[in-house]
Structure 1
Amino acid sequence: MTLPPPIRALVVDDEPLARRNLVVLLKGDPEIGVIGECASGAEAVAAIRQRKPDLLFLDVQMPECDGFDVLELLGSDCPQTTIFVTAHDEYALRAFEAGALDYLLKPFDDARFARALARAKERIALHATHRHAPRRLAVKTPRQLLFIDMSDVDWVEAASYYACLHVGPNTHLIRRTMAELERDLGDAFVRIHRSTIVNLRRVAGLELQSSGDYAVVLLSGIRLRLSRGCRQALEMRLRQESR
């Protein structure tokens, strides 16, 4: 029987000892293949785009370009599974809003690491068996279960541990991470900010703001912040859609 290829893992931390500890733990698992280490956020962005890891262990606080900057700069190039590793507990909520699967607080023991790695394996395996995006999203409310067509969603925003689906004049909360939704919504959607995903078919254009940044203008007139790291990818996708 042919064994599946190992899960490609990348470790990003500006502390050499922290990187070494993670690499040692990962190399103890035969299902994991460590494809590299990065000591800075800028180095991580380049490595992720080139090597396409399945699993990313990402430090939060790094000089010049922190972990959140890395994910924002990557946009749709973010790995399918990210685990934040940090000594600071105050970033946990922001990490989950950014689509992180788990949040390892240093110092952690082997059992805590094993639980995080098991969750990562489960997500990656699930992704491998569901490569085709579903056409509808299931939304539970106190009184009913709704099924919303993907094409009807205008935009999505992070809302603490939930995501908020904007469908015409209605909004629906769904307990999914932004990374999961970005994957499941498919090619018709693109992330324009770490906390915002838009339906390309609802975009009317881009508008220059007084700050020098751009806003994404939807057909409904709603204006959404466009991060600088996502602008190039969005413009490329919009050009492709207009052909």
Structure 2
Amino acid sequence: MNPPPIRTLLVDDEVLARLALRQALAAHPDVEIVGECGNAAEAMQAVAALKPALLFLDIRMPGMDGFKLLHRLKPDTLPMVVFATAYGQHALRAFDANALDYVLKPIDQARFDQAIARVRQQWLGMHAHAVTMPVAAPSPPAPAHAQRISVRIGESIRVIATEDIDWISADGNYVQIHAGNASYLHRETLRRLLETLDSSRFLRIHRGTLVNVERIREIHPLFQGNAEVVLHNGTRLNLSRRFRTHARRALGMV
């Protein structure tokens, strides 16, 4: 017995992006598009009402982003997920969120077809076990904090374990990630990155600086409440007066 069509919801704030998904899905008659949403709030209502089996989900949208949407959906209503986004640096985090696949915009049909093949395999497996497994176990929760950051370098993606990062500095709408002897430009604001990192490991010492507390060797008091943070590799960073109280608590300073 053939499984039913894969009921699919498209979630992207750009109309042209949703049109591109529709065109790419035209080659797959077993995928039925049941709705489109322009933001995460609409998507939450649509998932509850339409009960789709599959989400094509953008990451960066006004208001709530794609990752926050997944965290707010109930585990028993969570569809299969394929991220479709222009930002390759979120690939590892997407798989941490139990996404089946991750396709980049503009959509390449051959790569898109591979993603659908993976969805179809999962869908067939779910229905093959429907008799013996009527209720699927909820997916394990995504890690509370990012364990890795993926940085695009030319045509490749470099994966950096967060524990290997020494410090991070703001650079407009980007950040510079300093790890060992290397520095990587990453398309993410410091504020957004701070939301994903473990606050017990990464300490904000300046408006534009985060530091891995495991890398701190010394702190030298300066004038007017400021201080200098010295890392094990000799890097010297400014600890501003604004963040000194929080730093003292985090580092056990009396």
Q: Equivalent residue of 1:62, what SS?
A: coil
Deviation, structure 1 residue 25? 1.8
Distance 1:62 1:72, change over 3 A: same
Partner of 1:86: 85
Deviation, structure 1 residue 30? 1.4
Q: Equivalent residue of 2:32, what SS?
A: strand
Deviation, structure 1 residue 29? 1.7
Q: Distance in 2 between matches of 1:74 and 1:28?
A: 29
Indicate which of 133, 137, 143 corresponds to 1:195: 143
**Which stretch shifts more, 73-82 or 13-22?**
73-82
Amino acid at match of 2:88: D
Q: Distance in 2 between matches of 1:50 and 1:58?
A: 17
Partner of 1:65: 64
Q: Equivalent residue of 2:126, what SS?
A: helix
Amino acid at match of 1:195: P
Q: Size of the alignment, in residue pairs?
A: 143
Q: Answer yes or no: is the 8 Å Cα contact 1:27–1:33 preserved in 2.
A: no
Deviation, structure 1 residue 59? 0.2
Q: Answer yes or no: is the 8 Å Cα contact 1:59–1:67 preserved in 2.
A: yes
Deviation, structure 1 residue 101? 0.6
Deviation, structure 1 residue 43? 0.5
Partner of 1:42: 41
Instruction: Let me know the Cα RMSD of the aligned residues.
Output: 2.3
Deviation, structure 1 residue 71? 0.4
Q: Answer yes or no: is the 8 Å Cα contact 2:3–2:124 preserved in 1.
A: no
Distance 1:105 1:78, change over 3 A: farther
Deviation, structure 1 residue 32? 1.1
Any residues of structure 2 matched to 1:12-161 within 5 Å, and which? 12-131=11-130, 132-133=132-133
Distance 1:5 1:119, change over 3 A: same
Q: Distance in 2 between matches of 1:195 and 1:133?
A: 26
Q: Answer yes or no: is the 8 Å Cα contact 1:27–1:34 preserved in 2.
A: no
Partner of 2:239: none
Q: Distance in 1 between matches of 2:83 and 2:41?
A: 16
Q: Distance in 2 between matches of 1:91 and 1:63?
A: 17
Q: Distance in 1 between matches of 2:51 and 2:45?
A: 10
Distance 1:190 1:57, change over 3 A: closer
Deviation, structure 1 residue 106? 1.2
Q: Distance in 2 between matches of 1:3 and 1:112?
A: 25
Percent identical pairs in the alignment equals: 44
* TM-score (normalised: structure 1): 0.54
Distance 1:123 1:21, change over 3 A: same
User: Residue 5 in 1 paired to residue 4 in 2?
Assistant: yes
Alignment gaps of 5+ in structure 2: 145-254
Q: Answer yes or no: is the 8 Å Cα contact 2:57–2:81 preserved in 1.
A: yes
**Which stretch shifts more, 81-90 or 22-31?**
22-31
Any residues of structure 2 matched to 1:209-220 within 5 Å, and which? none
Q: Deviations over 1:175-208 (max 9, x none)?
A: xxxxxxxx75x3xx686x5437xxxxxxxxxxxx
Deviation, structure 1 residue 105? 1.2
Q: Distance in 2 between matches of 1:77 and 1:60?
A: 22
Amino acid at match of 1:12: V
Deviation, structure 1 residue 44? 0.5
Q: Distance in 2 between matches of 1:76 and 1:52?
A: 13
Flag the structure with more relative contact order, 1 or 2, with Cα contacts below 8 A and sequence separation at least 6. Answer: 1
Q: Distance in 1 between matches of 2:2 and 2:120?
A: 15
Q: Equivalent residue of 2:35, what SS?
A: strand
